[in-house]
Amino acid sequence: MTVQQKTRRPSSRSKFSLLSLFEAMATPHALDRYLELVDPMTTVRDLRGEVTAVHRSTADTVTLTIRPTHQWQGFEAGQFVQVGVVIDGVRHTRCYSPACSQYRDDGRIELTIKAHPEGLVSQYLHGNAYVGLVVSLSQADGTFHLPSPRPDRVLLISGGSGITPVLSMLRTLLDEGYSGALTFLHYAYTENDVSYRAELDAIAAENDNVRIVLAYTDQESGGDLHGFFGTEHLDAVAPWYSDAETYLCGPPGLMRGVKSVYADLGLSENLHLEEFAAPVAVVAEDAAGDVTFSDSDVVASNSGRTLLEQAEDAGLTPAYGCRMGICFTCTSVKTSGCTTNVKTGEKDSEPHKKIQLCVTVPVGDVSIEI
C-alpha cells in the first residue's frame, strides 16, 4: 500500500516525550478530550474523518468523500470501516465499505451509502451529510479482500449497494495494471438504480481485459442481462468461472442464489463473500431462539430470563452489582439481535450496543460479548 505510509522523522523521539508530558498534564482525561473542543479533526489518538465532498448519484444513494485524520492506516479493497454520526444526541455507528481504490492518491476514502427505508444512519447521511461534517471512524477491518498475489481470473458479482467493496476491488486491480481476465457483474432493479454507471462505462471503454456487465431484475430492455442470477448468466459473462476466484456482495436474495449455484457446481471454495447482517425484525414476546455468549463460545436456548441469569444458568460468571439496573456493573455489548429492557419495556434491535445484562431479556436470537 502506498497511500498511508508515514515516514518517521528523526524528531519523533522528542515529539513522543513531549506528547507524554502533555498527556500527563491532561490526566486523567485523554488529550483528545481537550482538542476536540477546539477542532475535532486535531486528534492525538482518535481516528476521525471530515466529509470533503457530498454527491447524490441516484435518488436514494449518497457518495461521501472523507479525509481521515493521520492515524488512518489505509485499507485493503473489500474491507469495511465503521462510521459514527450523532443523531439527536446519540452517536450511531454503521459499517460501510469504501468504493475507491486502495491506492487513491489523496488518501481519502469514498463511501457510497444507500438510504434504506428503515436505516436510521443511511437516511440521516443521505439527507443531512454536508461538507465539513466530522464523523468518527474505525480502522479498516474484515477478511473480504483480494489475495496476494492476485488470481489469474477474477469474477466480481454485486447487487444494489453491495457494489462498493467489489468496485473497490475493481479499481484497485486496475491501478495495479492487472492483466488477467476480469468480469464485473452487477445487479440492479433498473438502470436508474446503478451507482457509478459513468465510471463503469469509462472503465469498460479503457480496458480490454475488463468486462462490465449490468443485469437488471425489474427492467426487460437495455443493459446486458435481465432477471436473477443463474448458471446461464455465469456462462454468458465469465465462461472461465470454474478457474476464477469470485467475490460477491449484495442483498440476501442474490447472496443465497449465488451461494447455492456455486454449491451445486462444487465451487464453494472459490466463492468469497461479504455478509452484512440483515436488520433484525422485532418478534413477539415469547422466548425463542438462541443466546450466543460469543466470548465464551457458549450457546444456550433462550429461557426468557434476563441475560445475566441466562449467562449464569449457562455456567458463566459475568460481573454484576445491583441486579436491578442501577449500577451499570454488568454492562456488556450486544452484538446482534433484539432485546427488551424489563425496566422500561423498550425494545432494542440495534447491533453493537451496550446493554445492562441484569435488566435485559433476549427476544429471539441474541449474541452478546460475555
Partner 1 sequence: MFGIPLSAVSLPFFGSSAKAEALTPTVLSYEQVQELGRELDELRARTVAKLGDTDREYIYNIVKTQRGFEIAGRAMMYLPFLPPVWLAGVGALGVSKILDNMEIGHNVMHGQYDWMREPGFNSEVFEWDTVCPADQWKHSHNYMHHTFTNIVGKDRDIGYGILRMDEGQKWNPYYLGNPVYAFLLMTFFEWGVMLHDLESENIIQGKRKWHDVKPLLQGMWRKAGRQVLKDYVIFPALSGPFFVTTLVGNVGANLIRNLWTYSIIFCGHFPTGVQTFTEEETADESRGEWYVRQMLGSANIEGSPLFHIMSGNLSHQIEHHLFPDLPAHRYPELAPEVKVLCDKYGLPYNSGGFFKQIGSVWGKIFKLALPNSLTGSEPTVGVIVERKKVAA
Chain positions contacting partner 1, by CB under 8 A:
21, 24-25, 27-30, 32-34, 36-37, 46, 86, 88-93, 321-322, 324-329, 331, 343-344, 353-354
Strand partners, 348: 339
Q: What is the DSSP letter of 312?
A: H
CB of 37 to partner 1, least distance (A): 5
CB of 133 to partner 1, least distance (A): 15
CB of 36 to partner 1, least distance (A): 8
If the CB atoms of residues 8 and 29 are measured against partner 1, the closer one turns out to be: 29
CA distance 120 to 94: 10
Start-to-end CA distance of the chain, whole Å, equals: 36
Q: Cβ–Cβ contacts within 10 Å for residue 330, how many?
A: 23
Q: What does residue 112 show for φ and ψ, rounded to 5 degrees?
A: -115, 125
Between CA 323 and CA 293, with CA 314 as vertex, the angle to 5 degrees is 85
Name the residue with cell 445492562: 356
If the CB atoms of residues 71 and 331 are measured against partner 1, the closer one turns out to be: 331
CB of 366 to partner 1, least distance (A): 19
If the CB atoms of residues 39 and 220 are measured against partner 1, the closer one turns out to be: 39
If the CB atoms of residues 46 and 309 are measured against partner 1, the closer one turns out to be: 46
Distances (CA, A) of 119 to 113, 127, 172, 175, 277: 10, 12, 29, 33, 13
If the CB atoms of residues 24 and 59 are measured against partner 1, the closer one turns out to be: 24
If the CB atoms of residues 24 and 281 are measured against partner 1, the closer one turns out to be: 24
Q: What does residue 290 show for φ and ψ, rounded to 5 degrees?
A: -120, 145
CB of 138 to partner 1, least distance (A): 12
Annotate 219-256 with DSSP letters as a single string.
-SSSSSEESS--HHHHHHH-TTGGGSEEEEE--HHHHH
CB of 240 to partner 1, least distance (A): 47
CA 34 to chain centre: 30
CB of 334 to partner 1, least distance (A): 13
CB of 232 to partner 1, least distance (A): 47
CA dihedral 151, 157, 160, 165 (to 10 degrees): -10
If the CB atoms of residues 258 and 370 are measured against partner 1, the closer one turns out to be: 370
If the CB atoms of residues 201 and 346 are measured against partner 1, the closer one turns out to be: 346
